[in-house]
Structure 1
Amino acid sequence: MTISRRRFLQYVTTASAAGALTTLALPGVAYAQSGRPILKAGDQKGGLRALLEAADELKALPYDIQWTEFPAAAPLAEALNAGAVDCGPIGDAPVIFALSAGAAIKIIGANRSDAYGTAVIVRPDATLRTAADLKGKNIGTTRGSIGHFVTLKALAAAGLAPNDVNFRFLPPADTITALASGSVDAWATWEPYTAVAETTGRGRVLVNGRGLWSGLSYLAATDAAIASKQDVLRDFLARAVRAQVWSYQHVDAFSAAMARIVGIPPEAAKLQFSRRATKWRNIDDALVAEQQRTADFYSQVGLLRQPLDVKTTFDRRFPVKV
């Protein structure tokens, strides 16, 4: 499938501009009902909201939800740090940057996905074929994102250092424009951006995340929200877990709903969803150890000011049925 550059950018920029807040009203939910708590939920390009809505998990809520959408993890992490949202989905690498900056947040839920779609993308006609070919090239990504992390791991595996490439830290919409214009040679990104680029003929996967990234992502919540809305957060997480199970039992229906809600091509929605194979899991010592290895890697490449002990950032009081 080939589409115009203008239409492709419309898909990529469906999410809010970096750092901007967009409140989305839930159908059938009143925001000012006396006595009902309000959960301020952050989201990345509508993915979590689309999942819950498609699975009918937003019905019969004992609380109200105020959604705020972000194009990437970095601005979501900033909103968590500022208390502008109570919780939100965030990858293992971005949460490390948030914690190292002193964010008062905890990880309350964890899931694992196939890492393929976290990738370094190049233009289809690019001559680059391996990670080693990135030496001296300009790579666009969001600082501290899982795309950034995968690129650093790929460079290390190819015997290259971080300063062997030129990183340009840009939000997704700006990066895809830069890739199309040639001002960057590659884009280090994640789903659904990877699937959109592939299915619209605007990008080719040069390096995928398998063997480089853990595939771990989290539901993070602020310390304040955990203290005051623990039951709400527990219910919200349970709904997300149930919705994930439902989605893989109804792949076609969910993919269609996601394409509509998030605003991406149906082909991209189905591709990114089906290959991710996301499963929620309980937080255990092995998972914490994986997160520590990610933090240690960031320390080794000089992206953290000081080593980070991740153990205290996990709250195990939110078990899920897996």
Structure 2
Amino acid sequence: MRLRSLLRWTAPLLAAAVSFNAAAQSATTLRIGFQKSASLLTLQKSSGSLEKRLSPLGVAVKWVEFPAGPQLLEGLNVGAVDVGFVGEAPPIFAQAAGATFVYIGFDPAAPEAEAIVVPKDSAVRTAADLKGKKVALNKGSNVHYLLVKALEKAGLKYSDIQPVFLPPADARAAFERGAVDAWAIWDPFLAAVEKQSGARLLVDGRGIVNNHSYYLAERGYAQQYPQVIQALFDDSQAQAAYVKANVKAAAAVIAPLQGLAPEVVEKSLTRYQFGVKPLTPAVAAEQQKIADAFHTLGLIPKPIRVAEALPGRAAGAVAEAAR
């Protein structure tokens, strides 16, 4: 009787515990690695739009900030985040270093959103004039490839300049005190130094590079939670449409979050073409060209195959296109 009585009281509790554990296992969190300079994600974080979209799925959102793409991918590789948004060069360096991730989408080309700038009174007038000069850049970032290709177009080798590897804040300080001769940088830092310091644009990406941005994910997370990835894409596309139709209003919201003047943010927003899309074989082939160029220059220690970091069907399409 005593045992029967005990079971009568504990059975509901055990059932509740099982139900709770099942719910806990089905719920998940999307940890997004972002850079404050990534205006669209900064807007998403501020608005809470993604949280609202994922709430019906029982998914929480955690935003993890990084100073630049290479550091973000280190976070992705060690399991600190599930998804990240970076420029075209960081995934190349990360894959060469053994990081495991998968490309899940890309934003359209934005060649005007990165450039090499010089002080307004600099004697440097063309990219060819950079020979022997010190050029600041964030190692492994999207502008690393811009610098390589801009020098190549000007008839110079990468070894003809002195690269000075600095994150954006330190690079700007070095640029303004004259410790470096030029700075390869992306928006909104580019717009800020143009408007605030009168920096002169030496060359941007037009006719040289495409400057795509990529959404990357931990492969297991992308495979296990495709509905979460789709919700992220849907929200990113909705926010992109809003920014394109309301540039000034979007800049007013983003500016204080980035610590910049609204006119600076507005200028940078006009140089990006937002709107995430699934990766195509053509875009993946462009990434492979970057990887090959970096290996030829000795910037990465071994050749890599970008197709190995693509989702199954996309990897197959790239392999078929390469035949």
Q: Shorter-chain-normalised TM-score: which range?
A: 0.7 to 0.9
From 305, 308, 318, give the equivalent of 1:312.
308
From 257, 260, 264, give the equivalent of 2:260.
264
Alignment map for 1:103-114 (pairs within 5 Å): 103-114=99-110
Q: Deviations over 1:19-64 (max 9, x none)?
A: xxxxxxxxxxxxxx96642111110115243232466623523221
TM-score, normalization by structure 1: 0.83
Aligned partner of 1:232 in structure 2 is: 228
**Alignment check: 8 A CA contact 1:136 1:166 kept:** yes
From 251, 255, 261, give the equivalent of 2:251.
255
Aligned partner of 1:6 in structure 2 is: none
Aligned partner of 2:49 in structure 1 is: 57
Larger radius of gyration, structure 1 or 2?
2
Structure 2, unaligned runs of 5 or more:
1-22, 315-323
**Alignment check: 8 A CA contact 1:140 1:188 kept:** yes
Give, in whole Å, the separation in 1 of the partners of 2:201 and 2:214: 25
**Alignment check: 8 A CA contact 1:131 1:154 kept:** yes
Give, in whole Å, the separation in 2 of the partners of 1:281 and 1:234: 11
**Alignment check: 8 A CA contact 1:251 1:270 kept:** yes
Aligned partner of 2:216 in structure 1 is: 220
1:278 lines up with 2:274 in the alignment: yes
Change (3 A) 1:239 1:226: same
Aligned partner of 1:26 in structure 2 is: none
Give, in whole Å, the separation in 2 of the partners of 1:53 and 1:59: 9
Give, in whole Å, the separation in 2 of the partners of 1:129 and 1:272: 23
Q: What amino acid is the match of 2:303?
A: P
Change (3 A) 1:257 1:291: same
Structure 1, unaligned runs of 5 or more:
1-32
Aligned partner of 2:10 in structure 1 is: none
**Alignment check: 8 A CA contact 1:42 1:69 kept:** yes
Q: Deviations over 1:229-277 (max 9, x none)?
A: 3322221122112211221111121111111222211111000101223
Give, in whole Å, the separation in 2 of the partners of 1:226 and 1:59: 18
Give, in whole Å, the separation in 2 of the partners of 1:210 and 1:172: 22
Deviation of 1:314 after TM superposition, in Å, equals: 1.7
Give, in whole Å, the separation in 1 of the partners of 2:225 and 2:301: 32
Aligned length: 286
From 189, 192, 197, give the equivalent of 2:188.
192
Aligned partner of 2:154 in structure 1 is: 158
Aligned partner of 2:12 in structure 1 is: none
Q: What amino acid is the match of 1:305?
A: P
Give, in whole Å, the separation in 2 of the partners of 1:55 and 1:290: 33
Aligned partner of 1:42 in structure 2 is: 33
Aligned partner of 2:20 in structure 1 is: none
Give, in whole Å, the separation in 1 of the partners of 2:137 and 2:220: 31
From 66, 73, 87, give the equivalent of 2:62.
66
Aligned with 1:107: secondary structure? Answer: strand
Let me know the Cα RMSD of the aligned residues: 2.0
From 105, 117, 123, give the equivalent of 2:119.
123
Aligned with 2:271: secondary structure? Answer: helix
Deviation of 1:304 after TM superposition, in Å, equals: 1.9
Alignment map for 1:283-302 (pairs within 5 Å): 283-302=279-298
Aligned partner of 1:246 in structure 2 is: 242
Give, in whole Å, the separation in 2 of the partners of 1:64 and 1:202: 43
Q: What amino acid is the match of 2:28?
A: P
Give, in whole Å, the separation in 1 of the partners of 2:213 and 2:310: 13
**Alignment check: 8 A CA contact 2:247 2:270 kept:** yes
**Alignment check: 8 A CA contact 2:147 2:184 kept:** yes
Give, in whole Å, the separation in 1 of the partners of 2:109 and 2:46: 20
Aligned partner of 2:79 in structure 1 is: 83
Q: State the percentage of identical aligned residues.
A: 36
**Alignment check: 8 A CA contact 2:128 2:151 kept:** yes
Give, in whole Å, the separation in 2 of the partners of 1:275 and 1:91: 15
Give, in whole Å, the separation in 2 of the partners of 1:100 and 1:310: 10
